[in-house]
Amino acid sequence: MLNYQLGLDFALEQDKNDALASFRNQFHIPKDKHGKDSIYMVGNSLGLQPKNAQAYISEVLTDWATLGVDGHFHAKNPWTTYHELLGEQMAKVVGAKPIEVVVMNTLTANLHFMMASFYKPTKTRYKILIEADAFPSDKYAVESQLQHHGFDAKEGLILWKPKKGEDLANYEDLESILESQGNDIALILIGAVNYYTGQFFDLKRITKLGHKHGCMVGFDCAHGAGNVALNLHDSGADFAAWCTYKYLNSGPGSIAGCFVHERHAYNKNLNRFAGWWSHNKETRFKMRDEFDQLPGAEGWQLSNPPILAMAAIRASLELFEEVGMEKLIEKSQRLTGYLEFLLTELGTDAINIITPNNPQERGCQLSIQVKHADKSVFNKLTNLGVMSDWREPNVMRFAPVPLYNSFQDVYNLVERFKKVLKN
């Protein structure tokens, strides 16, 4: 563990010795009102634009302009196989095998497609368990799945809640829910890293527990992909889905990722929706054949994919490929630990970090509860050029992202915090 120190010199020294420091230059950093780089701490919401995204998107635009429909087969990177370029790189980011990962659709849509296959309720086993503070879209999605199958959404939803007076969910409570209600639960769907608290759950432990009780287990990895070591294959999870516009820097509302465990790769008996892109690639363009399911996660695709959106992800994934998740996580832990150290050194009870302090139980995001839900703290920081976010009722989220944030960013953030809290 690093011996953190106060003072700007320490931050500068860390940046000087940071092997990943140069990656910051590969991103566009929004400016503050003085024309200086803002302190961008909100990559957990929307990642910054990689500078090479423009070239990759331009390549597609040029191929489209010059080749028209022939771009499907003759573009520099042909559009019919474009998503395959991404699948392999994405698989490394989330710790999966290439056959388990596909880039398609959007996150909530993918959760629904996954539930079409893995939520198989019966009269007696139909409930869905989620974490209490799941992202609203996930909650709405599972409620609508319950209703779609004719169940009462309230009655069918089980919440894994933190103990009274605590902020974080704990595994003993999960175990006792499963001991008492495991036979009623058809599906467990958990946010791998909770969007509000930043708590990174033990995916393997949850999956093992769920499977022991006969439940399907899936994860929403929106806040995990490109942030923590998800090891999706080893976790044994049945499925996972994530967006790519946060830590994966692929642009607002961009196309999402999806994981289906290898053990389901060749199972043709799962309920699923189909389209021509889930059909055997070799015969897809013959158009007259009986449906022939593609194996693996690709078999869940429906439509031919949006290549312009994929070009942006390609730009970002190349950077991930170059750095590798291991080095990224190593820096992430140092950088977030530094933020935690400086905030703790402020010695104030005006703020309280609710994210776990064990680096294995969090990614780069720290969630900070503000006393009396005083949103003016957030507004003043914003005025001082800090880009972060506020989540009701009382939390500010800061994500020093190892690909583009520096130790100096973290130092400057806490200096501004000091200013705001003094006033």
Ligand X SMILES: Cc1ncc(COP(=O)(O)O)c(C=O)c1O
Stretch near ligand X under the rule CB under 6 A, chosen from 74-82, 134-142, 172-180, 341-349: 134-142
Who contacts 351 (Cβ-Cβ below 8 Å, separation ≥6)?
Answer: 343, 368, 369, 370, 371, 377, 396, 417, 421
Instruction: For ligand X, give the closer residue by CB, 355 or 406.
Output: 355
Site size with ligand X, rule: CB under 6 A = 12
Residue 130 binds ligand X (CB under 6 A): no
Residue 195 binds ligand X (CB under 6 A): yes
Instruction: For ligand X, give the closer residue by CB, 137 or 408.
Output: 137
Who contacts 329 (Cβ-Cβ below 8 Å, separation ≥6)?
Answer: 228, 229, 402
- Using CA of residue 194, residue 199, residue 200, residue 201, what is the dihedral sign? negative
Residue 138 binds ligand X (CB under 6 A): yes
Instruction: For ligand X, give the closer residue by CB, 250 or 405.
Output: 250
Residue 54 binds ligand X (CB under 6 A): no
Closest approach of Cβ 382 to ligand X, in Å? Answer: 20
Contact map string, positions 104 to 123, toward ligand X, x by CB under 6 A: --xxx---------------
Closest approach of Cβ 387 to ligand X, in Å? Answer: 16
Instruction: For ligand X, give the closer residue by CB, 191 or 226.
Output: 191
Closest approach of Cβ 234 to ligand X, in Å? Answer: 22
Query: Residue 183: how many CB atoms within 10 A of its CB?
Result: 12
One DSSP character per residue, 115-180 reads HHHH----SSS-EEEEETT--HHHHHHHHHHHHHTT--HHHHEEEE-PPTT-SS--HHHHHHHHHH
Closest approach of Cβ 259 to ligand X, in Å? Answer: 15
Instruction: For ligand X, give the closer residue by CB, 191 or 198.
Output: 191
Instruction: For ligand X, give the closer residue by CB, 112 or 233.
Output: 112
Residue 60 binds ligand X (CB under 6 A): no
- Pick from 50, 156, 191, 363 the residue near ligand X by CB under 6 A: 191
The token duo for 283 is: 């015969």
Nearest alpha-carbon partner for 192 in 118, 131, 127: 131
- Pick from 10, 40, 82, 135 the residue near ligand X by CB under 6 A: 135
Closest approach of Cβ 24 to ligand X, in Å? Answer: 24
Query: Residue 276: how many CB atoms within 10 A of its CB?
Result: 13
The token duo for 338 is: 């530094």
Q: CA-CA distance, 87 to 9, in Å (whole number)?
A: 42
Q: Is 230 exposed, middle or buried (CB count within 10 Å of its CB: 0-12, 13-18, 19+)?
A: buried
Residue 137 binds ligand X (CB under 6 A): yes
- The DSSP H or E segment spanning 101 is strand 101-104
Query: 81, 89 in Cβ contact below 8 A?
Result: no
Stretch near ligand X under the rule CB under 6 A, chosen from 22-30, 72-80, 100-108, 355-363: 100-108
Closest approach of Cβ 229 to ligand X, in Å? Answer: 18
Residue 386 binds ligand X (CB under 6 A): no
Stretch near ligand X under the rule CB under 6 A, chosen from 135-143, 145-153, 211-219, 314-322: 135-143
Name residues contacting ligand X, limited to 223-242 (CB under 6 A).
Answer: 223
Total number of residues shown for the chain: 423
- In degrees and rounded to multiples of 5, residue 160 shows phi and psi of -90, 105
The token duo for 207 is: 């999956």
Q: CA-CA distance, 192 to 414, in Å (whole number)?
A: 28
Instruction: For ligand X, give the closer residue by CB, 20 or 222.
Output: 222
Instruction: For ligand X, give the closer residue by CB, 24 or 112.
Output: 112
Residue 258 binds ligand X (CB under 6 A): no
Instruction: For ligand X, give the closer residue by CB, 150 or 253.
Output: 253
Beta bridge partners of 191: 220
Instruction: For ligand X, give the closer residue by CB, 223 or 334.
Output: 223
Q: CA-CA distance, 253 to 45, in Å (whole number)?
A: 11
- Pick from 41, 185, 222, 260 the residue near ligand X by CB under 6 A: 222
Residue 243 binds ligand X (CB under 6 A): yes
Instruction: For ligand X, give the closer residue by CB, 107 or 187.
Output: 107
Q: How far apart, in Å, are the Cα atoms of 61 and each of 75, 248, 312?
A: 10, 22, 12
User: Which residues are at the interface with ligand X (CB under 6 A)?
Assistant: 106-108, 135, 137-138, 191, 195, 220, 222-223, 243
